[in-house]
Structure formats: C-alpha cells, structure tokens
Copies of this chain bind each other. A is one copy, B any other.
C-alpha cells in the first residue's frame, strides 16, 4: 500500500510569491498535486475547468456545502470559493503530497479537520519588499495597496498559529526549503508506525528462526 501523502497548506501575504512557489514545486518534483478549488465565478479566458478551478453553479456549490463535500468555503464579493474534500482525499490516498494555497481563516479550518496537515506561511524578506511587490504589479490603486498592507499587518499576528515560516528571498532556495519540509514530515515517527511494527515482527520471526 502506498504511503498516504501529506497535506501542505500554504498561506502568505499578498506579494509573497506563493503562487510561483507552488508552480515550481509541481514542475520540479513529481510527488506533488495542487488542490483545485471549486468556484461559482465564471471562467476567465484561458481558464480550464478542473485545472484552474472546478467551475460550478451556485446551486451545485450550495449542494456541496450541504453534503459536507467542502473542507472549507468562503464568499468573496458575490462568488463562492471552496476546497473540495473529494479531490484532496483522492490525491492523498494515491500518495501525492497535496499543495493547498489558501488564506489564513481557511488554513485554520483545514488544520482542525486534518491535524496532521502542515501549515506553512510565506513572507517576503521585509515589509518594504511586500510593499514593493504590490506596487510593481501596477494594477492596484494606492488605496488598494494601503488596505492590503493593513491586512498583511493583521495576518502577521496569525503566523504563530502556523507550523513553518519560509522567507521567500530567493525562489530556488525557497522551493528547496518547501520540499525539505514535506520530505522531512514523511520521516516523522508518527507517520511510520507501520514500518516500525513490521521491523519488530521481523525481529521476532528472525530470532525464533535462530
């Protein structure tokens, strides 16, 4: 039986580069799968159903909520977003390490449902860098940037609830570090009781055979 995968929940300030990190992990290593969210918003040009999102109707979405098929969900503006339990479970069972990029409230709900999930928070090397990255996007007004900075300040108060903190100063190092965290978690003794029990039985058999 293949060992169950690890659920890695990734949050971070706007502009922390966490999206790029996820993409790089998927590209470099074959043990990862990205959790795909369900949403009621319309697909944008180029977005593919089942890859970028599972695009569903509001009725479908509310049905999923009612049937407890979402690990967490939230409403932004007038659209629902949620994490389908089925997809995550399927990937974990197949032995894939599942990456789930999600904001803090969602991450803490996931941790309640999957206490063995790893919560990882990504920060840029400095607050100036957070500001700089938001400004560089060029798509947001000064007021939107200021509100994102205030939000990031509030988010910083929650980092203590996470398991790991990663500073994204260099993409390559940061991708490696994320990979270290997941690979290390696979070796935790509490995830290897089957192996330990197997070796104990082997010793008994071996010594009886002597």
Q: Can you list 6 A-B contacts (CB < 8 A)?
A: A120-B187, A127-B202, A149-B203, A149-B206, A163-B189, A184-B185
Q: Please indicate the chain B residues that have their CB under 8 angstroms from the CB of A146 in the complex.
A: 210
- Interface residues of chain A, those whose CB is within 8 Å of chain B, are 120-121, 123, 126-128, 131, 146, 149-150, 152-153, 156-157, 159-160, 162-167, 176-177, 179-181, 183-185, 187-189, 192-193, 195-196, 199-200, 202-207, 210
Question: Across the two chains, which residue of chain B brings its CB closest to A203?
Answer: B153
Would B189 and A127 count as touching, CB distance under 8 A?
Answer: no
Copies in the complex: 2
Would B153 and A207 count as touching, CB distance under 8 A?
Answer: yes
Would A181 and B189 count as touching, CB distance under 8 A?
Answer: no
Question: Across the two chains, which residue of chain B brings its CB closest to A162?
Answer: B189
